[in-house]
Structure 1
Amino acid sequence: SPQWVLTAAHCANATFKNVSLGVRSYSAKDDSRQVIQIERQIPHPWYEPDVHVNDLMLIKLKKKAKKTKTVNWLPLGKTIKYPAAGTNCLVAGWGKTNNKRGGMSDALMSANVTVIDRKKCNSNGFYNKRPFITTGMICAGSNGKNVADTCQGDSGGPLLCNGVLLGVTSFGGKDCGVANQPGVYAFLSEKQLTWIQKTMKKSEI
């Protein structure tokens, strides 16, 4: 929907007043960007921050975004299949690009990540069930050859697999780009899609 933004619940912040769309660089002067005021932030009602469960939030904008060369929206299906291990996906965000430097990226960055088996992600060599990676989460990172990951500041960004929005960036290890501490994404399961659709519909009444 052109009036809704999907992000992570842990990104909720009462001080956020606007959403910027169509931005490719913070510093570059770009007339294509759209800055729209936020009407409401709606975190998932069963979000559990301690264990990262249901880390999703909807943001309703005060007006609809305009579709342009740099602004578009993705349709949500009724069902999404959990991605198989080895699936190549795309992530994007404004987060850190270096573990030693804390600044955010000036440009919108993207990377290809590989889905990692959930049991493997819960194993001793990985997260060791701290926290437990549930069926509502997707692990994705390095393919064993190339280092790829999201980092601090990328939260709420998209996980796209075969052009379909499957998840939202949720959390990761202390450092980024560590093969056995991959990024973890909130999975847009059928249950979550139902919550999204019902929430948007209820808000329009």
Structure 2
Amino acid sequence: MDQRYRQPVTFILLFGALQCVSGSIGGWEAKPHSRPYMVSVQQNGTHYYGGFLVADQWVVSAAHCYTAQSSPYKVLLGAHSLSDSESTKQTFTVASIHSHPDFNITRNFDNDIALLKLDGRASLTQAVQKVSYKRVSKDVPEGTVCSTAGWGWINNVGVKPDKLQEVNVAVIGHKTCSSRRYHGSKITGNMMCAAGHGKDSCHGDSGGPLLCNGLVEGIISFGGRKCGRPMKPGVYTMISHYRDWIDAVMNQGSKY
């Protein structure tokens, strides 16, 4: 099983690339609060995973992040810097975690999606906003340039940024990504792949969004043992395949 998104003893989880430029591997620091839907999921004040706000009390993230829980999760909204005292920040406790019932980390990362219900409703401001996600199951054309963001590693030795990073990646076709030279049989019909030359998401970005043409298309799931390696692109859960499940959980949360 790929260990890329398991939590090391002293590090966090996310995507990255081989070369450290100034942001997500191969990326750069985002303009402050230009991605107001971004979420930092934290334990004991430390960033561990990503996510994104889709309703005033609901965050989408990745199921593999929540297979074990040693202390309550907190959700930080409205942040650019994790350490600075920004007046835009809003913090909530995660009241309940709803992982997809067909996700099984011991088998593969298929259905790697989770919904986090907050213990309160976010106040929508210029720095805190919901993001729209794809609700029609249609593949994104190969080569489409998309973007992702997070507070994950910016290189393969665990350097972590304080400020939100972003990177552009291009969609890789399903046939290519599921070939033996790439990820092979790990790739299911619920996944899409994207990367660039030395550009990737990395440890600590898991659960964050992949946006194409202004809509969330994917959720950061897994990748190669090292971020940004050729033929081991980032893999994303296709959110459009889970539209009905998302609606059901948010409308009848306790049953799911």
Asked whether the two chains share a fold, i.e. TM above 0.5, the reply is: yes
1:6 — aligned with what? 60
The superposition leaves residues 112-145 of structure 1 with CA deviations (integer Å, 9 ceiling, x where unpaired) of 000001111122321232x2x1110010001xxx
State whether residues 112 and 148 of structure 1, in contact with CA within 8 Å, keep that contact through their aligned partners in structure 2: yes
- For structure 1, the residue ranges without an aligned partner over 5 or more in a row are none
State whether residues 44 and 57 of structure 1, in contact with CA within 8 Å, keep that contact through their aligned partners in structure 2: yes
1:203 — aligned with what? 253
State whether residues 120 and 126 of structure 1, in contact with CA within 8 Å, keep that contact through their aligned partners in structure 2: yes
Q: Secondary structure at the match of 1:96?
A: coil
Tell whether 2:86 aligns with 1:35: no
State whether residues 18 and 38 of structure 1, in contact with CA within 8 Å, keep that contact through their aligned partners in structure 2: yes
Distance in 2 separating the partners of 1:80 and 1:124:
25
Tell whether 2:234 aligns with 1:183: yes
Larger mean CA deviation between 166-175 and 25-34 belongs to 25-34
Could you say which structure has the greater relative contact order, defined with CA pairs below 8 angstroms and 6 or more residues apart? 2
Tell whether 2:217 aligns with 1:163: no
Pick from 26, 41, 44 the counterpart of residue 82 of structure 2: 26
Q: CA RMSD in A?
A: 1.6
The superposition leaves residues 98-123 of structure 1 with CA deviations (integer Å, 9 ceiling, x where unpaired) of 11x21422111110000001111122
CA drift at 1:80 = 4.0
2:173 — aligned with what? 117
Larger mean CA deviation between 32-41 and 119-128 belongs to 119-128
Question: 2:76 is aligned with what amino acid?
Answer: S
Larger mean CA deviation between 21-30 and 75-84 belongs to 75-84
1:83 — aligned with what? 140
Question: 1:202 is aligned with what amino acid?
Answer: Q
Tell whether 2:134 aligns with 1:60: no
Distance in 2 separating the partners of 1:138 and 1:128:
13
1:139 — aligned with what? 193
The superposition leaves residues 57-82 of structure 1 with CA deviations (integer Å, 9 ceiling, x where unpaired) of 00001111111121111234542422
The superposition leaves residues 166-204 of structure 1 with CA deviations (integer Å, 9 ceiling, x where unpaired) of 1100000011111210000000134x1100001110128
Distance in 2 separating the partners of 1:97 and 1:76:
26
Report how many aligned residue pairs link the two structures: 198
Tell whether 2:161 aligns with 1:95: no
Larger mean CA deviation between 108-117 and 72-81 belongs to 72-81
Pick from 26, 30, 51 the counterpart of residue 108 of structure 2: 51
- For structure 2, the residue ranges without an aligned partner over 5 or more in a row are 1-54
State whether residues 133 and 217 of structure 2, in contact with CA within 8 Å, keep that contact through their aligned partners in structure 1: no
CA drift at 1:165 = 0.7
Distance in 1 separating the partners of 2:149 and 2:194:
13
Sequence identity percentage: 38
Moved over 6 A (4+): none
Distance in 1 separating the partners of 2:152 and 2:116:
20
